[in-house]
Amino acid sequence: MQIAVARPFNAYGARDIGRGEKSHVIPAIIERLLSPDPTLVVWGSGTQTRSFIHARDVAAGLALITEKYACADPVNVGHDHETNMAELANLLMDVSDIHKPLYFDTSKPEGCKRKSADMTKFRRVTEGFEPEAALRHGLAEMVEAHRAVRYPSG
């Protein structure tokens, strides 16, 4: 049997709605941003980085890996560009047009200092595929999706 093995890294998209303290980082920050709290709290120091890839790009990457590299050899699916949590919070405030003072809560866990993957094999097996979705645009979609869930009539 031919199978493809893919390991997505830090995928995000509009359907990833917050689940409280169990949320992924982007929906968690969006929920705090949309809340009535006067301060935007970010867990950790704000210097930890992640390489985010939009769900549409993950789907395209998975299709290419399945088509071109179904040989049971793991391939990372992600992005090379790293964004720190302070930049992410500021970008979310920018796309939402909600601006609050940032507070970095170092009493909360910040996870790994870096969470990124080597994308060399991904590019090789997909013949140079590069994620297309700009982080700014994907974050704006997520903010609008969260607003639609939180304020469905407004």
The domains of the chain are located at 6-148
> Is the pTM for the entire model greater than 0.75?
yes
pLDDT value for 154: 57
Cβ neighbors of 134 (< 8 A, separation 6 or more) are: none
Q: Average pLDDT in the 104-112 region? A: 91
User: Angle formed by the axes of helices 135-150 and 85-96, to 10°?
Assistant: 60
3-state helix, strand, coil in the chain (%, to 5): 40, 15, 45
Could you please state the CATH topology (level 3) that the domain comprising 6-148 is classified under: Rossmann fold (3.40.50)
Q: Is the pLDDT of residue 23 over 90?
A: no
C-alpha to C-alpha distance for 49 and 47, rounded to whole angstroms: 6
**Sign of the four-CA dihedral 71, 13, 40, 89:** positive
Q: Is the pLDDT of residue 92 over 80?
A: yes
